[in-house]
Amino acid sequence: MQPHMCAAILVINILCHSQAFTTERRSHLRPSFHGHHEKGKEGQVLQRSKRGWVWNQFFVIEEYTGPDPVLVGRLHSDIDSGDGNIKYILSGEGAGTIFVIDDKSGNIHATKTLDREERAQYTLMAQAVDRDTNRPLEPPSEFIVKVQDINDNPPEFLHETYHANVPERSNVGTSVIQVTASDADDPTYGNSAKLVYSILEGQPYFSVEAQTGIIRTALPNMDREAKEEYHVVIQAKDMGGHMGGLSGTTKVTITLTDVNDNPPKFPQSVYQMSVSEAAVPGEEVGRVKAKDPDIGENGLVTYNIVDGDGMELFEITTDYETQEGVVKLKKPVDFETKRAYSLKVEAANVHIDPKFISNGPFKDTVTVKIAVEDADEPPMFLAPSYIHEVQENAAAGTVVGRVHAKDPDAANSPIRYSIDRHTDLDRFFTINPEDGFIKTTKPLDREETAWLNISVFAAEIHNRHQEAKVPVAIRVLDVNDNAPKFAAPYEGFICESDQTKPLSNQPIVTISADDKDDTANGPRFIFSLPPEIIHNPNFTVRDNRDNTAGVYARRGGFSRQKQDLYLLPIVISDGGVPPMSSTNTLTIKVCGCDVHGVLLSCNAEAYILNAGLSTGALIAILACIVILLVIVVLFVTLRRQKKEPLIVFEEEDVRENIITYDDEGGGEEDTEAFDIATLQNPDGINGFIPRKDIKPEYQYMPRPGLRPAPNSVDVDDFINTRIQEADNDPTAPPYDSIQIYGYEGRGSVAGSLSSLESATTDSDLDYDYLQNWGPRFKKLADLYGSKDTFDDDS
């Protein structure tokens, strides 16, 4: 028997595989071949010697559904004599649950249905032991049980549905998409996992490759505009597509994408539109639209005006949202000039595919006729603006100019003119409402306003709402009505000197002039002295012929003692027609200078005093001032010496003296600023106070112990003593009494305003903030501080 033959241990349902047994080692645990003999050549019966085989795997078919357990195989040991002393044991994966062994015979059975897709093989361990002692008779042997596949799983696609796109008009055989299915069966055993693809729905438009699952186009020139979406069903079948194989299907939705294979087309040949002559440029007149069945950028259309008599008056733009051509007014139209226009509009694709250029041209044209409608238009001025001139100082009613407007409509309604008073607040002008002549209402001054801007309205008489407005600029022409004047308040200075000193060639001052009139009536300025002082001995004027002049001294020897100020009149004339002139006064002061001619002082006060007052007069004035001061001092001294007598006579009943001080005291702690004895009655010291206003009925004897010490400084005790004396003397009128006003009436919101009780009663006010005010308020902080502060101080 060859080594590749199956052993007798695999008796039932075991496929014979050469790789199941090897001759690596010998073992007593082997398949049994009892009673198997062979004959020799000469008829001699030969008995085959027993050999141990090495085996390592069994096979069992999956999905067995029979009523009895499946016999996987049989184990048998060489030392097993059949007397039942040997016990076979099975361990490993599934032992005891899936696989069971008959411990006497060694038969292995599968008790459950196996699924290769769940588990393809099991590894088990077999051993023969003594039944009584469980002593191993042989070493354990390992073997594998493989689950043999059957075709029990249909093919499954990766997706239940697929979506794919392919351009329209694609060539035959263009790849669309590849679908893939899988089979859970064993691809290495038979044809259970060998798949073949076929198309069930979608013919004749598409086909599928049987081995790869690639879907391709099967018809040429498929048009998206005719049909855009196709539904294809693909089947995958195992067993190589033969009968008895399992199959699965999937749905594929194929969409044709657009290409630019259709030119734009206008649905009509002529468009009729209308526009009012009152429309403004930019206003929409109408719309045209060319239809293109393509979509996206392939359906984009642009519009242009290619011909027509209205190309200068109209324009067309493209509305890319609606794919329409918008005809707009480019310039105003006039019904009275022309009443109809014609345009030729072209619509063309923006993007053209060269592959389909033969389907072109990808453009179309249409005729657009535009009728102009009549409208009641406002008047129109003959000029967009007007500029007029008028001389200043012209009399009221002088004609400035004229504006003219007309009605452009065929009715040619009459026009009325008016001035916009918001532009002529001072009402300088008026206008004739019928003919448009503008006149002045008062003289104008160019120096105040050189230009005046007004607005004029023109309205139809029968329709005042139809009006037009035009700006009118009025220039006020200059007239030489202003004389030139000094450009600044000039002032000259000349140094006093003796007559022997030579004259300087430098001007005392250089002057210039200003003229409010226009330059034509202003410079050139001419400077001169008035005719009556043309031969002035002191100064002269030299015209520099550049609108300036210099003032020079004619002599020397100017002295402040003789004259410190000179007023020089100067005549200034302008170059206007007729010329205007004015006389201006130049002030020249005589000043003291050093040897280099530098000004030191122009003050003439000392010289004025010497010339007006003598030395004796000055002494007399000073004497009078001294006498007045002496009188004032004596008067003040006498007022200070006039005081009340301080001596107290015995016959006078003086209870207390009031002494007025002009300085502030030092507070309660200052006990040396006054003498408390001054407040005491001298007669009260002896205990008897005489009364002079009435005759007493009996003598009042003061109570002992109430007599204050003469030199006591306790003011509180002194006042309390005097109060008790006054309260206990029934004959004494209240010469000295203390009245306490502690009641201020009921319902007072403010409460008591008296400060007499503030020292003896608790206050609700918080004066602790005085502690933070610095040393100047320390005394007040101590007096009005918190209660705790007083307690600490005491």
Q: What is the pLDDT of residues 389-404, one digit of tens each?
A: 999 999 999 999 999 9
User: At which of 318, 347, 371 does a domain end?
Assistant: 371
User: At which of 148, 181, 209 does a domain end?
Assistant: 148
Q: What is the pLDDT of residue 80?
A: 77
Q: What is the pLDDT of residues 171-181, one digit of tens each?
A: 999 999 999 99
Q: Report yes or no on 660 lying in a domain.
A: no
Asked if residue 496 and residue 466 are part of one domain, the reply reads: no
Asked if residues 555 and 457 have their Cβ atoms less than 8 Å apart, the reply is no
Q: Is it the case that residue 231 has pLDDT exceeding 80?
A: yes
Q: What is the pLDDT of residue 32?
A: 37
Query: Quick one: what percent of the chain has pLDDT higher than 70?
Result: 75
Asked if residue 304 and residue 352 are part of one domain, the reply reads: yes
The number of distinct structural domains making up the chain is 5
Q: Which candidate, 246, 261, 352, places its Cα nearest to that of 302?
A: 352
Asked if residue 490 and residue 519 are part of one domain, the reply reads: yes
Strand pairing category for 467-477 and 451-460: antiparallel
Say which CATH number the domain at 510 has: 2.60.40.60
Q: What is the pLDDT of residue 394?
A: 92
Instruction: State the residue range of the domain holding 530.
Output: 485-601
**Helix (H), strand (E), coil (C) string for 464-498:** CCCEEEEEEEEEEECCCCCCCEECCCCEEEEECCC
Q: Which candidate, 586, 484, 577, places its Cα nearest to that of 525?
A: 484
Asked if residue 391 and residue 365 are part of one domain, the reply reads: no
Q: Report yes or no on 350 lying in a domain.
A: yes
Asked if residue 102 and residue 163 are part of one domain, the reply reads: no
Q: Report yes or no on 5 lying in a domain.
A: no
Q: What is the pLDDT of residues 742-762, one digit of tens each?
A: 555 555 555 555 554 444 444
Asked if residue 411 and residue 345 are part of one domain, the reply reads: no
Asked if residue 431 and residue 325 are part of one domain, the reply reads: no
Asked if residue 346 and residue 329 are part of one domain, the reply reads: yes
Tokens of 34: 């009892």
Asked if residues 551 and 509 have their Cβ atoms less than 8 Å apart, the reply is yes
Q: What is the pLDDT of residues 513-558, one digit of tens each?
A: 998 888 778 788 999 999 988 888 889 999 998 989 999 988 888 8
CA 492, CA 507: separation in Å to the nearest integer? Answer: 9
Q: Report yes or no on 649 lying in a domain.
A: no
Q: What is the pLDDT of residues 241-279, one digit of tens each?
A: 788 788 899 999 999 998 988 899 999 999 999 999 889
- Identify the top-confidence range among 340-349, 463-472, 686-695, 778-787: 340-349
Q: In what order do the strands lie in the sheet with 284-288?
A: 284-288, 324-329, 314-319
Q: Is 639 exposed, middle or buried (0-12, 13-18, 19+ CB in 10 A)?
A: exposed
Q: Report yes or no on 134 lying in a domain.
A: yes
CA 670, CA 694: separation in Å to the nearest integer? Answer: 40
Q: Is it the case that residue 667 has pLDDT exceeding 90?
A: no
Q: Report yes or no on 632 lying in a domain.
A: no
Asked if residue 317 and residue 394 are part of one domain, the reply reads: no
Asked if residues 126 and 139 have their Cβ atoms less than 8 Å apart, the reply is no
Q: What is the pLDDT of residue 5?
A: 31
CA angle 588/594/597 to nearest 5° reads 55
Contacts of residue 434, Cβ cutoff 8 Å, sequence gap at least 6: 416, 417
Please report, as a single letter, which amino acid is at residue 255: T
Predicted structure pTM score: 0.41
Q: What is the pLDDT of residue 254?
A: 94
Q: What is the pLDDT of residue 734?
A: 56
Strand pairing category for 57-61 and 141-148: parallel
Asked if residue 289 and residue 234 are part of one domain, the reply reads: no
Alpha helix positions (H), 642-742? 715-728
Q: Report yes or no on 720 lying in a domain.
A: no
Asked if residue 340 and residue 392 are part of one domain, the reply reads: no
User: At which of 571, 601, 631 does a domain end?
Assistant: 601
Asked if residue 523 and residue 505 are part of one domain, the reply reads: yes
Q: Report yes or no on 552 lying in a domain.
A: yes
Q: What is the pLDDT of residue 251?
A: 95
The whole-chain average pLDDT of the chain stands at: 78
